[in-house]
Amino acid sequence: MGSMYRGHIILTVTIILAVALLTLGSEVGASTTRSFTLYLNDYGYNASKGGPLIVVNQGDLVRIRLIGNGSGPVVHDFALDEYSPSPYSIRSNRLSRGQVQVIEFVANHPGEFKYYCSVAPAYGESHRSRGQEGTIVVRATAPQQDQRTTVTETRATTVTDTVQPQSPDVSAIIVIAAVLAVAIVGVGVWLIRSRSRR
């Protein structure tokens, strides 16, 4: 019985380690570079209003090529910062027509945020209020720390559950064997006694 339990403990630990290693491996492999191009128009990105939906995975390196495309002296930029609102603090240069800037950042924070143009003339509407904003979605790839703990606990519990029914089975066999042995011995004794009476 002792060696059986030891075997199950080793199996359980091996399964937990394997799951942990697989989880770790998928996290390391998740990092990818995502490239986008945005034309900074009046008053949108790749459009005269709004901007394309940008979807990346958490941990991705996001590379955005910004191309100034405003009319006349009007400049535009790309901002993803506290005013988005977001936990990021990214702001490009203000680009005039024909100017190019490539910005890069690691999408560490999952969630859905607004990117926008921060240019606001001294009079009149800001570019953002004219519609120069879009949405970026950073999909959470790595499970949260507490979720991973739950998974490990669930696995351990499942393994323990499959161990437990085996113990009653073994003891049932022992009980049945013992009852049979007693019965056989009893019958034998009864036979010997009944023969010796004759």
Exactly one of 45, 68, 76, 110 binds Cu ion (CB under 5 A); that residue is 76
Q: Which is nearer to Cu ion, 31 or 99 (CB)?
A: 99
DSSP letters spanning the chain: -HHHHHHHHHHHHHHHHHHHHHHHHHHHTT--EEEEEEEE-SSBBSSSSB---EEEETTPEEEEEEEE--STT--B--EESTTTTSS--EE---BPTT-EEEEEEE--S-EEEEEE-----SSS--TTTTT-EEEEEEE--SPPHHHHHHHHHHHHHHHHHHHTTHHHHHHHHHHHHHHHHHHHHHHHHHHHHHHHH-
Q: Which is nearer to Cu ion, 76 or 138 (CB)?
A: 76
Exactly one of 84, 127, 133, 136 binds Cu ion (CB under 5 A); that residue is 127
Q: How far is the CB of 73 from Cu ion (least distance, A)?
A: 12
Exactly one of 117, 133, 134, 138 binds Cu ion (CB under 5 A); that residue is 117
Q: How far is the CB of 89 from Cu ion (least distance, A)?
A: 19
Q: Which stretch binds Cu ion (CB under 5 A): 5-13, 15-23, 128-136, 174-182?
A: 128-136
Q: Which is nearer to Cu ion, 39 or 105 (CB)?
A: 39
Burial of 131 (0-12, 13-18, 19+ CB in 10 A): middle
Q: How far apart are CA 142 and CA 133, in angstroms?
A: 28
Q: Which is nearer to Cu ion, 86 or 127 (CB)?
A: 127
Q: How far is the CB of 153 from Cu ion (least distance, A)?
A: 51
Q: Which is nearer to Cu ion, 27 or 42 (CB)?
A: 42
Q: Which is nearer to Cu ion, 76 or 84 (CB)?
A: 76
Exactly one of 56, 62, 95, 119 binds Cu ion (CB under 5 A); that residue is 119
Number of residues that bind Cu ion (CB under 5 A): 5
Q: Which stretch binds Cu ion (CB under 5 A): 23-31, 78-86, 113-121, 171-179?
A: 113-121
- Pairing type for strands 79-80 and 33-40 reads unpaired
Q: 139-168: which residues touch Cu ion (CB under 5 A)?
A: none
Contacting positions for Cu ion (CB under 5 A): 76, 117, 119, 127, 132
